[in-house]
Structures are given as structure tokens and as C-alpha cells.
Structure 1
Amino acid sequence: MNLYDFEDQIPSRIIDRGYDYWLEGRVMIESEHESTYRFIAEGSEQYEVIVTLTGIDIEDSSCDCPYTKEHCKHEVAAYFLLREKVATPSNRNVRQQLQKLKKQQLIDLLVGLANDPELYPRIARSFDTSRKSFTQVIKEMRRRFSDKFPMFELDYTSLSNFQSFVDARVSDVLIVQDHEMRLKQGIALMLGMSDYDFEELSEMSLETANELDPAICSAINMLSNDVVYLELLDLLKSVDTWNWADLHLEILKSLTFEMKDGLDVLRTYIETYSETEADDHEVEELEVLLRIIEKRSDS
């Protein structure tokens, strides 16, 4: 049993209770020695949970609560916390390690990963230069979401798996080499998440938008393609961006400086958005963008 499959190995009623326990912040790491973690679980009484890992495998686990069966809710809460704190790799740490490798070492690493049938499709997509429309890319992304998480079946017990799925999709977007495809896949990912009307996803959507912001905006800055920009604006007119408002604003900033022939369309979009949907903070920034567009149009 490991930190990614324990939900399939333990009765669902214990998983549900442990998940709630973790979500409420009632389990905390007290100490760590090598790969053994000691937790304090707070409830009507305090209980001690001890978990020993080998990599992501759970080698040993115990709790001093009265529950006598194999795994208790306190242990499950500790597993959720460990998966969040230990098993999820830091993008920064991975980047630092990769930067130490020489070119041939990176090639050998990539070729080795490509031999994994589960990883190869993700690697292949990073070099995708096909000229798919926004509509096609969004349709594909929504299908991937719905195949994995049917719309009305997402609940607390599957939220962690949903997060892992989204994290993997973010990684897919970040390694795409083609600017246009990186932009389209990033937007498609945000729309795929937005399809789920689940309150607990709001914070996840904000975090995902923050992660994608540099990749999406750099793609806009590098494209110099008003046809794609106009296609993006048409798309933004028809979707709700409330749960990624900051990213939406950054997209408009990038378009303000990069669009050429489509500045009138951008001006109309910003004016409409400012009057109907923007909050006070956004209105101030949008007014600045409108002034920049006016100067660019006059020059």
C-alpha cells in the first residue's frame, strides 16, 4: 500500500472519516526521523499516529486510539497529509535537479521515460505542433476530465485524486514547446476544471490559474498572431472566468501589448467586461489598459 493507492485498500467509510479529519486540520506532523513520521491527531482526546515510509510505500503504521481493526481514521488522515506534504514533488526542486544534468543526460532521461507506455503520450503531447483550434483542444480536455471524473460523481473522497489529475495536466501544459498549443491547452485546462460545480474546487482553481499564468502569458507574448488572439477573445466572451479572475486580467494585459489589427475588438471586450462583470480592483486596472490601447491605436 502506498500514498497514492491507500484509498483503494481501506474501507470507504474509514476513508471518508479520515478525509474529513484531514480536511479539518485535525492531524499534524509532530516530528520526523529519517522516514518515520509522528503525528498528533486531535479529537475528543489526543492520539499518536506513527507512519514509516519507504519512498511513497507505507511500510508501517499505528495509532494508539481504541479502534482495533487494521486502519483507523487517524491513520488515514495522516496518509492524506503525507501525500500532500511528502509525495507531491516540488516543481522548483525538480527544475533544480534537471538543471544540473548535461544535455546528453537529459536526452537519455527523456528517452528512458518515453519507454513507459503511460508517460509516452504526455511526452509526445509536449512536442505537438498540430494546428488544432481552441474548440478541438477544449473538447479533448473536457473528454479527459469526464472520462476520469464523471460530472456528478465528484465528491470529497475523490477530491485528492482530482487534484493529482489536475497537477498532471498542469505539468503537461508547462512542458509543451509550441507556444500556440501551450496557450490552448492551458485555457482548456481551466475550462475543464470550471465545468465542475463543486465549492471545494474554488481554491484549487485559483492555485492552478497561478501556476499556469506564466506559461499562458508567455505563450501570448511569443505568438504575434492576431488570428489566435481573436479566437481567444471570442472564447473568453462565452465563459465564466470568476474562479480565475487574476489569470483573466493577466491575459488581457498581455493582449493589450501584443495585439495589432484586433485592438478595436479588444477595446470593446474590455469595456463590456468592465461594465458588467469586473470588480472595483479590476475596473481600475482595466481603465489603465484602455488608455494604453488608445495610445497604441493613435500611434
Structure 2
Amino acid sequence: MEWEDVFQSQILDRGYDYYQRGLVTNLKQTSDGVQATVKGSKAYHVTVSVQNEQVVDAECNFPYAQGGKYCKHMAAVMFASFPDDEMEQATPKSQPTGLGVVQMVLSATEQQVRDFLTETLLADGDLAAKFALRVAPKNAENDRQLYLQQISDIIESYQDYSGFIDYQSAGPFEEELSTFIRENIQAALDQQHPKLAFRLINKVATKLARVDIDDSDGEIMMLAQACRDIWQQVIDQADAALKRQAFTWFQKHSQESMGAFEEDVEDLLFKNFTAPKFLQKKLTWTAEKLDDAEKDGSEWQAEQWAMFHLKTLVKLDAADDEIEGFCRAHIRYDGVRQYYVDFSLQRERYDRAIQILVNGRKRGQIDGLNGLVQKYSRQLLTLYKRLERPEAYRQELWNFVTTYSPADLEAYQELETLYPAADWPTEREKLLAALPKHADVVQLYAEDHLDQKLLQTVLAQRGLIGVQTYEKLLKPKFSRQLLQKYVAVAQQMAEQTGDRQHYRDIVKVLNKMTTFPMGMSTADHLIQEWRVKYARRPAMLDELKRFDSA
């Protein structure tokens, strides 16, 4: 068949499968080809144009088909249109409507139905497994191996010789596997077979965790969400025995590399299984994992397991003394310290909460963790304000502006409100003197209109960023000084050779100079000087002509 040449082999296989399963409906012949509807995860509308035994154009609302790609729904329509492999002799056939199918079944004898169903199920293992769920639910577990093989077959059918699923195949792969999950695993749950569903979805997840795929469009994440949904339903339906089995499985696989599924596995494990017997197991297990992580020196993992352990203690309604003892022993972890603060505040132990935050801030300073220092300081500010401790609040705010987050504008503005207007200039000078040399003081100068200091600072900076940022504020009083800064920067730029863009940037500086009094004549003088000094730079001289034309 000539038309097959435009389809990848795996797309043809999937299209033929859809055709064989009778998923092509409403098939109609058009003036230049055919159109039909194909049942997949939803109804897909397909239009195919054919000329000289070749597919010349095709459209389908399946995402994979966007951008001119040929999808399995198109292939299914072609198989339905030309089942005899001879395009010249074939005539597109209309499929029976839904009403027609019902009438055929009603008019058939019982033996005809049984014979046809037997023949169809023997030829299609997928349909046979689905049928088993409907009529022989107690035997569905016996067909588990068939389902497991189907999962492997779907994955392998999209892999190349090296086991890789490329970008073009990733979309169809995700849709087919999602369809399998929905039509088989979800069906097992709907028929109250959580044990079967659990085994199947575990197979899907462990296979996907190791598959090599270009999932640039997020295919694995979509499949991971589908797996999570099934897992949650399994847990909700599970009896005591299956819950024990599920708990053991999640616990085991939370310790393995599960790729995109790792967070879901851990999250499901800790959000579910809240019966005391499971919580006690979690408590023992998290204590062991925390100990292992601390021995390995893995701070990140240790903090993670410390929080898991702490949350389990809380769910077990452990005594306050036990929770506090654990927090004190592991307070070096930010999450634990934060919980201990909240724990103390809930019990109105405000001085203890303050001391925990003060100690955390000090530890952050020692370890050079500025983010934590600022976080704890902000929490202290909130707490001091809430408890109406104005002196402690003012001192913390002062330290925040001068040390923890130097020259923070919002904190600076808040600090100013704490002093009488007459006292602020004196306090401001003390604050500015206390700031480290690297602090960005220009925003503070601009805030209080300390124009002379602001000018000196931006003129001392390299480049023009500071000048241009505060030009509107400074220009009315210091236009001459700002123009001199532009001249100095332009001369520095001119001393460096560069590409066309470099020279265009110089012209931009010159054009900016013209907005200042005497700026045009100053720019002209520079250009005349450069034409002599840099006569061997034709590119630069050429770009300077653009200034002349401007």
C-alpha cells in the first residue's frame, strides 16, 4: 500500500490495532479523500486527502498530530478505508452506527453471538482480559500475567533498538499507556479488584521509573499523576491485608530510585496508613533512616527524615515532652526548629519561641546562611510587634537593616517611623555609618533625598547604571556632573575595540548626552577627536555617522 510510506512502523501497528478493534466510526468519502471519527481516550476527528495512492495531507485533533505529524488515528482511518490493500479498487465503507450495532446484536442468535465473541476474544487478549473483569471477576487475578505482558508490550513497542523512546513517539506512547491504565487498571478498581489494580500499577510505575524517554512535553509526569490516582484509590479500597502489603511496597520503594515517582511514593506513604500499627512502624523506620542519613553526613536527607519522624510523632499524639526532646536533639534542622517555634507559640510559651529564633539566627550567622538569618529575624520582628515589645522590635529592626539584610529599603522605612522626625537625621547618620561597605546605600540616599551623597555614590560607580537609575532625581541640580560622567564612560568605551554592536552602544551614550545642556556640542567634540584618534577603525567611524544623521 503506497499510503503506508508516510507512517512510522509503530504508528501503523497502533493504527491497525484501532481499526481491528472497530474504533473507526462515521467513515465518509470526500471529494479528495476520507474523513472519520476514531475513538481513543476521546473522540478524534480525522480528515485525510489522497492523490495517486499517496497521502498528501491529513488532519487530526490529537496533540501528536500537530505540526504535520501522522498519527495512529490517521492510520486507522486509512486501514478502514482501504481494507483490501488496493486503493484503485477499494471504496470507503461506512461503519454501522451505534443503533445499527444494537439492531445487529438483537437480531443475532445466541449461538451466533457466542461464536463471534469467542473468535474475537481469542484473537484479542486485551478484550479478553476486559471481558473477564465483567463476567468472571473471581478469575481476574488469574489473568494478571496477561495484563503484565501487555504493559511490557506497550513500552517495548515504542522503544528503539537501544531502548529509547524519542520525542515523536513519546506522545503516542503516553496516550496508549494512559488508555491502558484507564480501560484496564481503572476498570479493575471499578469492579472492586484493588489487589489486581495495585499489582498492575506497580508494574507500570517501576517500568516507567527506568524507561529512557524524551518526555519534553511532560509525558512521564502525566503518567505519574495517573499512577498516583490509582494508588490512592487502591489504598481507599484496600482491606487490612492489602493495606499491609501496600505499606510494605511503598516503604521498600521509597528507598529506591523511582525517578518522577519518588515524591508521590513518599507522599502517599506518609499521608495514608494512619492507623496506630502503621504509625508505630513509620516511627521505627524513620528513626533508622534518620540515623543512617546523619551517619552518612547527608544533611538534606537527614532533615527530610527528621521531619517525617516528627510528623509521625505528632500523628501518634506523642506527649509534649517527647516531641520537645526530639526537637531539641535535632534543632539544627530548619524544619524542626520551625516546628518547635510553632509548637511553643501554640502553647503560649512566647519567651521560649523567641529564644529558639534568636539561637537559630545566631547559628545561621555562624554558618553563613543569610537566608535563614533573615527569615528568623523577620519572625522575631513579627513576634515582638505582636507581643508589644517596642524596644526589642526597634533593636531587631536596626540590626536587620544594618547587619542581617543591609540597606533593606522596606525595613529602613519602617525604622524611620519609630523615631521622632527631629531625631531621625542623627539616628540615620549612625545607621549609615554602621552599614557594611558593600551595602547598596544609594536607595537609602534616594529615599531621604540625600542628593549630594547620592551623586557622589553613583559617580563613583563603574558604568552608567546608577546615573541612569537616579538621573531624573539628580539632573535638575547636577546636570554638569552627570554629563561629565557620560563623557568619561564614552571615552572608556571608545578606548576598547569591538564589534558593530559595541560601537552602536557608544552612539547610544552620545545620543543620551544630547539631553543635557551643552551635551550636543560635547558629543560633537568627542566625535571629532575620535575621527582623528581612531582613524583606522572604519566600523567605528561608520557607526558614528549615525549620530550625525540623528
> What TM-score range do you get, normalising by the shorter chain?
0.5 to 0.7
Q: In the alignment, what sits opposite 1:70?
A: 54
Equivalent of residue 243 in structure 1, options 244, 256, 260: 260
> Given the superposition, is the C-alpha separation of residues 270 and 166 from structure 1 closer, same or farther in structure 2, using an over 3 Å criterion?
farther
Which letter does structure 1 place at the counterpart of 2:250?
Answer: L
> Given the superposition, is the C-alpha separation of residues 139 and 201 from structure 1 closer, same or farther in structure 2, using an over 3 Å criterion?
farther
> Given the superposition, is the C-alpha separation of residues 278 and 217 from structure 1 closer, same or farther in structure 2, using an over 3 Å criterion?
farther
Q: In the alignment, what sits opposite 1:61?
A: 49
Q: In the alignment, what sits opposite 1:219?
A: 234
Residues 106-255 of structure 1 mapped to structure 2, 5 A cutoff: 116-117=120-121, 118=124, 119-124=127-132, 127=137, 130=141, 140=149, 143-145=152-154, 147-150=156-159, 152-153=162-163, 154-171=165-182, 172-176=184-188, 177-200=192-215, 203-223=218-238, 224=240, 225-238=243-256, 240-255=257-272
Q: Which has the higher strand share?
A: 1
Which letter does structure 2 place at the counterpart of 1:55?
Answer: T
CA shift, 1:267, in A, is: 2.3
Give the TM-score normalised by the residue count of structure 2.
Answer: 0.32
1: CA distance, partners of 2:293 / 2:150: 26
Structure 2 residue runs without a partner (length 5+): 12-25, 39-44, 74-112, 319-550
> Given the superposition, is the C-alpha separation of residues 149 and 273 from structure 1 closer, same or farther in structure 2, using an over 3 Å criterion?
farther
2: CA distance, partners of 1:186 / 1:278: 30
Equivalent of residue 10 in structure 1, options 5, 10, 15: 5
2: CA distance, partners of 1:51 / 1:265: 67
> Given the superposition, is the C-alpha separation of residues 245 and 68 from structure 1 closer, same or farther in structure 2, using an over 3 Å criterion?
farther
Which letter does structure 2 place at the counterpart of 1:294?
Answer: L
Give the TM-score normalised by the residue count of structure 1.
Answer: 0.54
Residues 96-107 of structure 1 mapped to structure 2, 5 A cutoff: none
Query: What SS does the corresponding residue of 1:175 show, helix, strand or coil?
Result: helix
CA shift, 1:201, in A, is: 6.6
Aligned length: 226
Structure 1 residue runs without a partner (length 5+): 17-33, 37-49, 88-110
Can you list the C-alpha shifts for 1:23-45, whole angstroms capped at 9, x where unaligned? xxxxxxxxxxx999xxxxxxxxx
2: CA distance, partners of 1:298 / 1:214: 29
Determine if contact 2:228/2:264 at 8 Å carries over to the other structure: yes
1: CA distance, partners of 2:202 / 2:171: 22
Determine if contact 1:193/1:205 at 8 Å carries over to the other structure: yes
Which letter does structure 2 place at the counterpart of 1:61?
Answer: S
Is 265-274 or 120-129 further displaced after alignment? 265-274
> Given the superposition, is the C-alpha separation of residues 190 and 58 from structure 1 closer, same or farther in structure 2, using an over 3 Å criterion?
same
**Alpha carbon RMSD of aligned pairs, Å?**
5.1
Q: Which has the higher helix share?
A: 2
Residue identity over aligned pairs, in percent, reads 8
Determine if contact 1:180/1:219 at 8 Å carries over to the other structure: yes
CA shift, 1:294, in A, is: 0.9
Bigger-Rg structure (1/2): 2
